[in-house]
Structure 1
Amino acid sequence: MRREPGIIGCGLLACVLAGCGGGTAGSRLDPGAMAQLREVLSEEPRLPDGFTPRPGEAWRIPFDKAGKNCRTMLRPAEGRAPRQALTAQVAVSYTGDNLGEQAGVALARYTGGGAADHLDELADALESCRRVSSPSGTDLRSHELTIEDAGDEAVGARLTGRLNGYPYAMDVVLSRAGDTLVSVVHTGLDDVDAGRTWAMVDAAITMAEDR
């Protein structure tokens, strides 16, 4: 897991703060910005082969118990991005054709340097998330995910192991495209293809840049 300069739903779900857990402290939602993000995701996106272009509900964290850092790094993909300076966000998911494959994509737009500041905070949480375990048979360990050249900057990790007793893998990539925080999770049973993860990240960054 490293950070490098120059790198980085039931229909369409537009996730405003009041509907994503928490209030609006420290943020001012911009109806125009929300409309722009909704418009971007209402158009057929250029997704990797094998993913349905029709968006579904926002992706949800698949385990009930996890440490603060692990949950912090995953919340943006649920449409629960950090609220300070947030003006708009949307979160959706796409189904892939591999076993248990799903991708969650979320865009969160900020004023000032909010996107860069929050990415710094999320990078710290990602670095500190080492393991997720529970008595229900969940035991996932974090590994480094090689960073690709995408967006302005990015961090990533791969979680592998078992989810409720079943083989499971998850790639997590948090990146920035200008004033927009781009969150992508790519999950599957047993394994996920890193190439498809980065193709999805590229698609999400294109969405952010098109708005």
Structure 2
Amino acid sequence: MALIGKVGIIGVAVACGLLAAGLTRCGGQEAVSDGGEIQQSLRLRALLSKEPVLPDGFSGRARAAWRSPLTTASQACRAVLDAATGHPPTRALEGHAAVSFQGNVLGELAAVGMAVYAGGEAQGHLEELGRALDSCPKLRGADPASGTRLRLSELALPRLGDEVVSRQLRGRLNGYPYALDLVLVRQGDRLVSLVHTGIGTVDARRTVELAKAFAGVAR
């Protein structure tokens, strides 16, 4: 019994380590994941890390998943941003991964998450995330004096994958100029979430190039 207990603890530790890398879920004493989901997640991380041809100026070395600075956003707004941080919608989730890449412009970062779903749920999740965006026209900090205020508007993109939803956020984060482009792409049973951020502004043309690169990986 003692040996089984130790093995179980080691298994939880390994799975939680994958969570820290944006690979899987973890929850107390409950089963963390089956082997199939972990293997799928590892394959996705390899795809995101090695396959995309990034725009000039982006580091080819994949980094840890992005941590959103917009922690005070409403639940609807956070649900959309969470997908790029390694926390996609969990219903029918079969595997997921998230990484980020550093750009050469001050404060520039590209964060991408990819999730695979069973039973056609990828389409349902994209529709739900689209509705969440529609209910989130502005982002404000919990403290009005914090200087966080971002407005969402449409972001024009060419056709990508089977479906695409996109927005741009412009304004201030803790008083500093801040910009974020958000793209959600469904390709079959895969859902790709891309965030392109920068201080002051981001180049929408580079957002398009990034979106094309990761949508191609999802095929």
Q: TM-score, normalised by structure 1?
A: 0.85
Distance 2:86 2:36 in 1: 14
Which residue of 2 is the match for residue 6 of structure 1? none
Q: Matches of 2:158 and 2:129 in 1, distance apart?
A: 18
What per-residue deviation string (whole Å, max 9, x for no partner) do you get for residues 2-37 of structure 1? xxxxxxxxxx93420128x9x779x99524422321
User: What residue is the counterpart of 1:70 in the other structure?
Assistant: 77
Q: Give the AA of the match of 2:26.
A: A
Give 5+ residue unaligned stretches, structure 2: 1-19
Which residue pairs with 1:13 in the alignment?
21
Name the residue aligned to 1:132: 139
Tell me the matched-pair count.
Answer: 196
Paired with 2:67 and 2:31, the residues of 1 have a C-alpha distance of 21
Are the structure 2 counterparts of residues 103 and 42 from structure 1 closer, same or farther at C-alpha, using a change threshold of 3 Å?
closer
2:92 paired residue among 82, 85, 89: 85
CA RMSD of aligned residues (A): 2.4
Residues 158 and 28 of structure 1, relative CA distance in 2, 3 Å threshold: farther
Give the % identical residues.
Answer: 46
Residue 109 of structure 2 corresponds to residue 102 of structure 1: yes
Cα separation, partners in 2 of 1:28 and 1:130, compared to 1, 3 Å: farther
Structure 1's 24 and 206: CA in aligned 2 closer, same or farther, altered over 3 A? farther
Task: Determine which structure has more spread, i.e. the larger CA radius of gyration.
Answer: 2
Residues 29 and 86 of structure 1 are in contact (CA less than 8 Å); yes or no, is this contact kept in structure 2?
A: no
Unaligned runs of 5+ in 1: 1-11
4+ residue segments displaced more than 4 Å = none
Q: Which residue of 2 aligns with 1:9?
A: none
In the alignment, residue 40 of structure 2 is paired with which amino acid? A
Structure 2 Cα separation of the partners of residues 43 and 82 of structure 1: 24
Provide closer, same or farther for how the CA distance between residues 14 and 141 of structure 1 changes in structure 2, counting only shifts above 3 A.
closer
1:92 aligns to what SS in structure 2? strand
